[in-house]
Structure formats: structure tokens, C-alpha cells
Structure 1
Amino acid sequence: MRSKSLAYLGVALVGLSLMAGCVRKNAPTAKAPTGTDAATSAVAFLDKKFAVLPFTIPATDADLLAGYLPAARVVPEVAPVHLDAALEQDLAGSKQSFVPAGMAASCAKSAPRGDESGRLATLRYYQNVGKCAGVDYVVVPLVIDWRERVGSEIGSTNPASVDFVLYLIDVRTGGLIKQFHFDETQQSLSANILDARKFVSRNGRWLSAMELAQEGLQKGLAELGL
């Protein structure tokens, strides 16, 4: 299958001037109540403190702050563990200030949800986690779907597929400042010529779910200003 993919490389180089895209489902459209649309650049967060919660698997739509869970989804129990390790590694070089992961996890276990119902209760819960940790912002990571590649990096019958979201919560206002939604299934070059740049950067390889997720995490943290 690798030889077939490389045969399209010449076509890919011609298409490099096209906009690079990735095949993904539509990002959530339903909006939860949010705070003011504040800037999320690294400069905007100087002298601020963050708590990064462990990855969790949402059980119901109310666990999300926007959108809805897909009808069919699969998330192995080990996926959040691997994602936490990757997230910790990516944040190691950040210039932002973070409370210890143990403190964030402890507050996540003890914080109350509040008196509201549904997504308002979920939002209030994250605000309470931030108050418990004594931070300005809370980063909430949720893994929604996780499908491992079937095959190898040189040939795959079912490519990897990853769906996760990162929320950034303002503890003072209790508002959702920003969210990053990553939902991608790797495609072959022949299936999507607009992915030519990704195809070349990945050396024509079929990524594992973890490799795909790592790409998404790096992009998401950059968009959130972390």
C-alpha cells in the first residue's frame, strides 16, 4: 500500500499550494453559556496560574460544554492515561504557571457541581475545581472517541481516528473562554489531495491513534495560548 501512496507523491507536490485541510467531523455547534471572548495569547496569560485536569471520558451530553456525543463511539480505558502523559510532556516547555497535577486531580475529585442542572452544573463544577486549586484558569481535556489503526504504518485497512476537546475556563467569571475541538480520521493522499502537506510531513505513514492525538494536542495548546 506504501508503493501505491508514494505513486501519488508527484501529484501531491503540485497540490501543495492548495489549502491544507484535514478530514474531520463538524465541530460542536451547540453553545454553552460562555464568558467574554477574551484574548488567549501567551502574553494575555502572564502572571496567571493554571490547573490542567486529567483527561476524562464524557458519559453524557451534559459532560460537554458544547455539542453532543456521537451515537457510536469507542474509548479504551487506557487512552486517557496515554493522553495525560502526552499532555504533561507538551506542557513541560510552557512558559505558563501550572499547579501540580496531583493538586488538580485531587480538586477534580472533591469539587462540588453546584445547584444548577445539566451543562450549567458542569461549568460550575469546573469553576469550583479552579477555586479549590487556587488558579485563574482551568484546562479541561475530554476524549470523545478513539479508534486505533488497523494494520501498520505502511498499510492500514482502517486508519486511526481521534476525537477530543480542550476547554479553557475562567475561574473568576465561571465562563468558557475558548474551546479546541480535534476530530480527525487519517486519509490517504488519493482520498484527499488537500491533505498533501500532511501526507508529505508524515512521510506517507499511517499514524497510530496516539501519534494522531499528539499532533492535535500540540495544535490545541498553541491555540489556547499555552
Structure 2
Amino acid sequence: MKLVQRISITLLLLTGLILGGCQKVTQGPTPLPEVSIGVARFTQPLHTWDLLAGYIPEGQAELEDKILRELDQNFETQLFRMTNRRYVSAGASARCLELDTSKKAGSSTALAKWINVGQCMGVDFLVVPQVLQWQDRDGGEAGTYHPAAVTMDIFIIDVARQRASSRFHFEETQESLANNLMNFSKFVERKGKWISAQQLAEEGMRKGIKELGL
């Protein structure tokens, strides 16, 4: 009986090793740990000292505050739908940003500014979304003279270590299927329509949430 048991155990172990070796290991983004995370309001860098990375496109006009606040709402909606986390709201970041701006206007880098905001909010990490370029479509869903174009960054600031730990960059101008057949999947997803800049930004948000492991 002992010999039979040993043989059975050996076979089970070998089977487990074989099955384990056949499984494909897929590696996705490393999710952030269970820590306190704040979300900053969308901002538009207008000067080089406002940038965490990248550059400011030439001729970019200042966006209306209404557009930025709509981006805040859309981003919070996507975070709620796609993650199981609780975030310190963008409203808290606005108050902290006002305090930091009033105390240290023109005397700190962009990174130092957002670290101060994160410390004011009492969070371990701060998500900082920024719009660098914005062009809404000129026309409707069926046809357009100028398509929507969006360039934006989403940064994760490690407040405790005082550094930018991650960056997601999104830059896209919608193209017709005739101009780029590689966009077939996007063409189907968008139901063959010309989308608005807000809708294009939402696509970027969803990609960013996945890639940053939020």
C-alpha cells in the first residue's frame, strides 16, 4: 500500500508540474498598493515651469475652465467604473493648490508644487492629469472639417518619496478609416462616427487607468 501511495503522489506532482508549465503567464501593469491616493484637477500647463514632462505645443490657446471641469467629472466617472479604490477628490486638490500658489507663487518647480498639494491632501500618491493640446472637431458625427485632437499626460506622484513615479502619455488625432486602415478596431468601436475631443480624452483616460495600474 505504501508503494502505491508513493507512486500516486509522484504522478500527481508530475501532472501538476506539466500543467503548470503549459499555462501562459500574462503580465499586466503592476497595480498600486492599498494606499491613500488623491486625484488632482485637470490643469493646462501654459508655461515651461508648469510642466512635469514634455513640451507645450505652439499656438495652443488657453482652455475654458468649463472644459477642464468636464474632464474632471469624466475622469472621476472612469475611475469609479474601472477601479475599486477610494480616491481623495479633485475638489480637495483645488483648495490645496490655491494655498500652495498663494504661498509659493513662482518659487517652486511643478514637481515641488504637486508634492506640496499631495502633502496638503494627506495622501501617499497623487494622480495629476494635464492637457497639453486640445482641438475639438469642426463638424458633426457624420462628417467633419477638422477632427478632434487631444494630447494629455497622467502622472502619479509619490508624495512620500517626493518623485514622479509613473507617466502615461496620450496623443491622438482622429483619422478616417480611408487614411489609416490600422484604425479599423477604433472605427468599429466608435461606430463609424467622428467623436468629440471629450470622447477622445475619455478613451485616453481608460487606457491610462489600465496602464498605470489604478
Q: Which has the larger radius of gyration?
A: 2
- Report sequence identity in percent: 39
Count residues with an aligned counterpart.
184
Tell me the distance in 2 between the aligned counterparts of 1:75 and 1:224: 27
Distance 1:59 1:102 in 2: 21
2:172 aligned with 1:175: no
Q: Shift of the alpha carbon at 1:159?
A: 0.5
Counterpart residue type for residue 116 of structure 2: N
1:149-206 CA-partner distances (Å, limit 9, x unpaired)? 1111111111111111111100011111111111110000111111111112212111
Determine the C-alpha separation between the residues in 1 that align with 2:46 and 2:158.
24
Q: CA RMSD in A?
A: 2.2
Find out whether 1:216 has 2:204 as its counterpart: yes
Select the residue among 171, 186, 204 that pairs with 2:192: 204
Higher relative contact order (CA 8 A, sep 6+): 1
TM-score (norm 2): 0.79
In 1, the alpha carbon distance for the partners of 2:33 and 2:162 equals: 17
The equivalences for 1:1-226 within 5 A come to 41-42=30-31, 44-46=32-34, 48-77=35-64, 78-93=66-81, 94-111=83-100, 121-226=109-214
Structure 1 unaligned residues grouped into runs of 5+: 1-38
How far 1:101 sits from its partner (Å)?
3.1
Contact kept, 8 Å, 2:138 with 2:144, in 1: the verdict is: yes
TM-score normalised by L of structure 1: 0.75
Does the residue aligned with 1:96 lie in a helix, a strand or coil?
coil
- Counterpart of 1:149, as a letter, is R
Kindly provide the CA deviation profile for residues 116-165 of structure 1, in whole angstroms up to 9, marking residues without a partner as x: 96xx7211111111111111001111111111111111111111111111
In structure 2, runs of 5+ residues without a counterpart are 1-27
Higher helix share: 2
How far, CA to CA, are the matches of 2:163 and 2:62 in structure 1?
28
